[in-house]
């Protein structure tokens, strides 16, 4: 695994956001660094939903947070409409941020408990529009209505709402800025199954209504398949497979993707359940393995995997993997 | 029929709160055979964990419990009154959701397993540690002699949960209650842990109650599944029957609302409208009626009795899905555009966004 290389980047005029060789490292202790994200490249076209899946610690949230510069970027580019967000600072960066908004996993703790939800939703607009005029009040009502929260409850505080409703309020807050890209970090993981479907449908409706481009992060493979056009599978800070949602589940090529799909309680029919038995632990991101980062757990690993890092390569139409053994895997399937 | 290990009859649990009495569990009945796995599924607040805690005698004193629990012919609540310590943790044990909070952070893993053995079985320290090492090996922990001396924070989430499982198995229990045992771990680890629990259960002829909100987990790992809603079991059947021929509209709706891996991407989901009811002073009506596509006026008049075939497939509904009566109710509601509770409904459109 391991996927470096710019191969997955598409040369299309409608690419809205393009991440090139993004590397994020966090210092720990006196000398060590956590290699959270190591040289990942992908792009998102306008109106597309890109899903990011992987186990905890694979760097999927770090990628999302780096795009809106919530953490420091070690190197690499984040091109949004041709402008490299990674190189911006201060006021310039601030000006671009309304275009990219985020919704978070825990709907209740991501809202300020002391504020009325109407104020939570309108705060960004007030800062940017510079006034609290009637226009913004009308717009807040419209947004609350759009996400399915009755505007007459606008004076209540977050604790008076259920988790599902708080997530709707979080979505309204993000939409208030009229963003182009909505980054959703595990938006339904904390919700009950019956409410999860409501929020997923809402996101889909909002995407159509406001012409959004979505980045959708989740560890739930069925949820990601449902919402995404394209999916990127991550492992230990690297991309291992990128492809269209239907193609990736029908024809998974990377051993790690196959292991993931074989592990879900009702496994995908395209993989053998035994492929889900990947032993061992996730290696430490402080000292990631040389060569392919998946080599410690991969059933196909051989000498070359321990020495040479595989590059992202096309294996089909808009389908890329980083693995030395793609051929062997596709024959066994 | 095999031997019945556990019988729960008319179990009710109430908690007094400042806002009123919460009816957390409201008349739960089930039986569990020796060596079988019963899955309990439901959303948060449906009463599945409270049921488990009642069985384990872990409720706070303020809880008001009614009903009868019989384990292998012994009255479990009588044992609780007599403070019969060597029942829980020996005959009946439990694995909790979050291994980090169910392990003591300042005690070595081996000692925590050994503690169980020393307390319940009277092993001396040396023997208990040796036994703990062997248990760690049985639950698939690599290098048990090293791990036995480590603290919980030195282990990964999956290994920690294996330590918790080892503790639960230490005294050869006959019933293991696993409350969301894999909710805090990744999908690859989840598979390994569920495989482990399956193997251990089979090898030891143990019975298991597996509590989960994940319908896929229940489907893959249980002999029988009970669906809980608002403190009641609304449907219970053999696993395959429940998933292929569900009768309760809630089960039906739950199955339709989850995204499935075999559907193409952007398949429109069919969510359940509204949200679970308040459990304080619930009205004398079917608790699911306000969200139900099948609801008729009689659903608002009385709480439905449990029907179906006892011991095989039971459900508590006035207008069960996939029956003549139920489908007629649904057809009438669709024609009217709304149910007896005023819920607006329309035909389910299969389709892609």
Which ranges of B185-323 does DSSP label H, i.e. alpha helix?
A: 187-204, 215-221, 239-244, 249-257, 297-301
| CATH number of the domain located at residue range(s) A15-332 in this protein | 3.40.50.300
Structure tokens at B4: 């019945």
CB-neighbour burial class of residue B335 (10 A; exposed 0-12, middle 13-18, buried 19+): exposed
On chain A, the residues whose CB falls within 8 A of the CB of B43 are: 192-194
- pLDDT (tens, 9 = 90+) of chain B, 353 residues, equals 568 999 999 999 999 999 899 999 999 999 999 999 999 999 888 999 999 999 999 999 999 999 999 999 999 999 988 888 899 999 999 999 888 888 999 999 999 999 999 999 999 999 999 999 999 999 999 899 999 999 999 998 889 999 999 999 999 999 999 999 988 788 888 999 999 999 999 999 999 999 998 999 999 999 999 999 999 999 999 999 999 999 999 999 999 898 988 889 999 998 898 888 888 888 889 999 999 999 999 999 999 999 888 878 999 999 999 999 999 999 999 999 899 888 888 776 544 44
What's this model's pTM, rounded to 2 decimal places?
0.89
Min Cα distance A86 → chain B (Å) is 31
Residue in chain B lying closest to A257 (CA): B188
CB B353 to CB A208 under 8 A?
yes
Displacement of CA A34 from its chain's centroid (Å): 20
Q: Which H or E run includes B136?
A: helix B125-138
- Provide the Cα torsion A49, A54, A56, A58; round to 10°: -100
Structure tokens at A223: 């949820």
Say how far apart CA A219 and CA A195 lie, in whole Å.
Answer: 18
CB A219 to CB B186 under 8 A?
yes
CB B265 to CB A200 under 8 A?
no
ipTM of the complex: 0.85
Say how far apart CA B236 and CA A20 lie, in whole Å.
Answer: 52
Helix, strand, coil abundance in chain A, percent, nearest 5: 35, 25, 40
Say how far apart CA B326 and CA A187 lie, in whole Å.
Answer: 35
Give the domain ranges of chain A.
15-332
Is the CB of residue A193 less than 8 Å from the CB of residue B213? yes
Nearest alpha carbon to residue B11 among B88, B76, B80 = B76
The widest CA-to-CA distance across chain B, in whole angstroms, is 74
Is the CB of residue A120 less than 8 Å from the CB of residue A154? no
pLDDT in tens, A213-264: 999 999 999 999 999 999 999 999 999 999 999 999 999 999 999 999 999 8
CB A259 to CB B216 under 8 A?
no
Count how many residues are written for chain B.
353
Q: Mean pLDDT over residues A37-60, rounded? A: 93
Chain A interface, best mutation among B215, B271, B277, B293, by max A CB count within 10 A: B271
Backbone region of residue A267 per phi and psi (left: phi > 0; alpha: psi in -120 to 50; beta: other values): beta
**Cβ count within 10 A of residue B203:** 9
Is the CB of residue B12 less than 8 Å from the CB of residue B25? yes
Sign for the CA dihedral angle at A217, A223, A227, A231 comes to: positive
Nearest alpha carbon to residue B320 among B332, B338, B337, B308 = B308
Say how far apart CA A88 and CA A91 lie, in whole Å.
Answer: 9
For A161, A177, A208, B271, the CA distances from A165, given in Å and listed in that order, are: 6, 19, 20, 14
* DSSP summary character for residue A152: G
Say how far apart CA A38 and CA A69 lie, in whole Å.
Answer: 16
CB-neighbour burial class of residue A92 (10 A; exposed 0-12, middle 13-18, buried 19+): exposed
Is the CB of residue A78 less than 8 Å from the CB of residue A67? yes
Angle between helix axes B125-138 and B109-121 (nearest 10 degrees) is 120
**Cβ count within 10 A of residue A51:** 26
State residue A130's pLDDT score: 65
Say how far apart CA B105 and CA B217 lie, in whole Å.
Answer: 29
Minimum-distance CB partner of A194 among B220, B254, B262:
B254
Mind giving me the DSSP string for B162-209?
A: HHHHHHHHTT--SEEEEESTTTTS-HHHHHHHHHHHHHHHHHHT-EEE
Say how far apart CA A121 and CA A173 lie, in whole Å.
Answer: 4
Chain A interface, best mutation among B256, B265, B353, by max A CB count within 10 A: B265
């Amino acid at each position: 695994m391991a996927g470096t290389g710019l191969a997955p980047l598409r040369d299309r005029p409608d690419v809205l956001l393009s991440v090139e060789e993004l590397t994020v490292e966090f210092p720990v202790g006196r000398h060590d660094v956590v290699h959270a994200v190591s040289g990942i490249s992908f792009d998102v076209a306008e109106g597309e939903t890109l899903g990011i899946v992987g186990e905890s610690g694979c760097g999927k949230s770090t990628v999302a947070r780096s795009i809106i510069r919530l953490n420091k970027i070690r190197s690499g580019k984040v091109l949004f409409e041709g402008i490299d967000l990674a190189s911006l600072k201060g006021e310039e960066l601030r000006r671009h941020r309304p275009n990219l908004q985020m919704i978070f996993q825990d709907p209740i703790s991501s809202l300020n408990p002391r504020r009325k939800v109407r104020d939570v939703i309108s705060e960004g607009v007030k800062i940017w529009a510079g006034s609290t005029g009637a226009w913004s009040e009308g717009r807040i009502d419209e947004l609350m209505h759009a996400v399915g929260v009755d505007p007459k409850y606008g004076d209540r505080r977050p604790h008076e709402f259920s988790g599902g409703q708080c997530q709707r309020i979080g979505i309204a807050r993000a939409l208030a800025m009229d963003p182009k890209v909505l980054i959703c970090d595990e938006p339904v993981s904390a919700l009950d199954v019956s409410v999860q479907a409501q929020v997923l449908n809402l996101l889909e409706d909002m995407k159509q209504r406001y012409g959004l481009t979505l980045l959708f992060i989740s560890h739930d493979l069925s949820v990601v398949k449902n919402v995404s056009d394209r999916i990127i599978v991550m492992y230990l800070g690297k991309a291992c497979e990128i492809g269209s949602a239907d193609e990736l589940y029908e024809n998974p090529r990377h051993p790690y993707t196959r292991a993931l799909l074989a592990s879900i309680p009702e496994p995908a029919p395209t993989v053998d359940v035994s492929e889900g038995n990947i032993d061992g632990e996730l290696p430490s991101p402080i000292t990631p393995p040389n060569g392919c980062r998946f080599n410690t757990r991969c059933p196909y690993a051989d000498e070359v995997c321990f020495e040479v890092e595989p590059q992202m390569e096309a294996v089909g139409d808009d389908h890329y993997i980083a693995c030395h053994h793609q051929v062997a895997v596709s024959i066994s399937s | 029929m095999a031997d019945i290990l556990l019988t729960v009859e008319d179990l009710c649990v109430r908690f007094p709160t400042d806002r009123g009495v919460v009816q957390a569990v409201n008349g739960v009945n089930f039986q569990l055979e020796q060596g079988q796995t019963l899955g309990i599924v439901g959303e948060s607040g449906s009463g599945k964990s409270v049921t488990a805690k009642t069985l384990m005698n872990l409720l706070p004193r303020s809880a008001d419990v009614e009903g009868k629990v019989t384990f292998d012919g012994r009255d479990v609540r009588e044992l609780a009154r007599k403070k019969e310590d060597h029942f829980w943790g020996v005959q009946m044990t439990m694995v909790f959701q979050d291994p980090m909070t169910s392990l003591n952070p300042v005690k070595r893993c081996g000692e925590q397993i050994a503690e169980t053995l020393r307390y319940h079985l009277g092993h001396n320290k040396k023997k208990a540690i040796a036994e703990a090492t062997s248990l760690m090996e049985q639950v698939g922990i690599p290098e048990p002699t090293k791990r036995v001396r480590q603290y919980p924070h030195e282990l990964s989430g999956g290994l920690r949960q294996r330590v918790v499982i080892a503790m639960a198995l230490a005294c050869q229990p006959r019933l293991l209650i696993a409350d969301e045992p894999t909710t805090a771990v990744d999908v690859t680890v989840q598979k390994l842990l569920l495989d482990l629990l399956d193997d251990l259960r089979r090898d030891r002829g143990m019975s298991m109650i597996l509590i989960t909100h994940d319908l896929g987990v229940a489907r893959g790992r249980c002999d029988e599944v009970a669906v809980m809603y608002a403190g009641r079991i609304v449907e219970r059947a053999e696993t395959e029957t429940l998933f292929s021929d569900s009768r309760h509209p809630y089960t039906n709706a739950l199955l339709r609302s989850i995204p499935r891996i075999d559907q193409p991407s952007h398949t429109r989901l069919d969510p359940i409208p509204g949200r679970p009811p308040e459990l304080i002073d619930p009205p004398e009506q079917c608790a699911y009626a306000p969200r139900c596509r099948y609801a008729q006026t009689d659903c608002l008049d009385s709480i439905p009795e449990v029907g179906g075939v006892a011991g095989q497939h039971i459900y508590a509904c006035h207008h069960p899905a996939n029956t003549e009566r139920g489908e007629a109710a649904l057809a009438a509601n669709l024609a009217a555009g709304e149910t007896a509770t005023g819920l607006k409904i329309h035909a389910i459109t299969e389709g892609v966004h």
